[in-house]
Amino acid sequence: MKFGLMVSTGPYTHQASDTAFQFAKAALARGHEIQRVFFYHDGVNNATKLTEPPQDDRHIVNRWSKLAAEHKIDLVVCIAAALRRGIKDEVLANGFRISGLGQLVDSGIKADRLVVFGD
């Protein structure tokens, strides 16, 4: 099955980004496709390479980058939500790109299921 994901909360404060990641990993392991992960609302904060968690904690941002590289997953950050929150191209971690909200609707159209993670 082809899944589109949306992450609507930032890293660490909420578990949603962790859960989305675990979902993606599990789906891929079962042979499903992750068509796109769209980061909206505070979810855009999952995309900044300035993130530096303590060493004994998981690195949520780098974990997404690694998964995207391994499985060629399209990680899209909403431009309007990103600019509001100080996320720009110059702070984007590997594998993320900034684009419009149309990419979320496009995901809803092209994926078999759109799954939302967040409040």
Positions in the binding site for another protein (CB under 8 A): 6, 40-41, 78-81, 99-106, 108-110, 114, 116, 119
Least separation in angstroms between residue 29's CB and another protein is 25
End-to-end CA distance of the chain, in Å?
25
The active-site residue, picked from 20, 75, 78, 93, is 78
Clarify whether 112 is annotated catalytic. no
State which residue, 53 or 108, has the beta carbon closest to another protein.
108
Contact 27, 36 (CB under 8 A): no
The distance of closest approach from Cβ of residue 62 to another protein in the complex, given in angstroms and rounded to an integer, is: 26
- Spatial CB neighbours of 108, under 8 Å, sequence gap ≥ 6: 4, 114
d(CA 18, CA 9): 10
Q: How far is the CB of 85 from another protein (least distance, A)?
A: 10
Kindly tell me which of 51 and 99 has the beta carbon lying closer to another protein.
99
* HSE of 103, CA atoms in CB hemisphere, 13 A: 19
Q: Which residues are catalytic?
A: 78
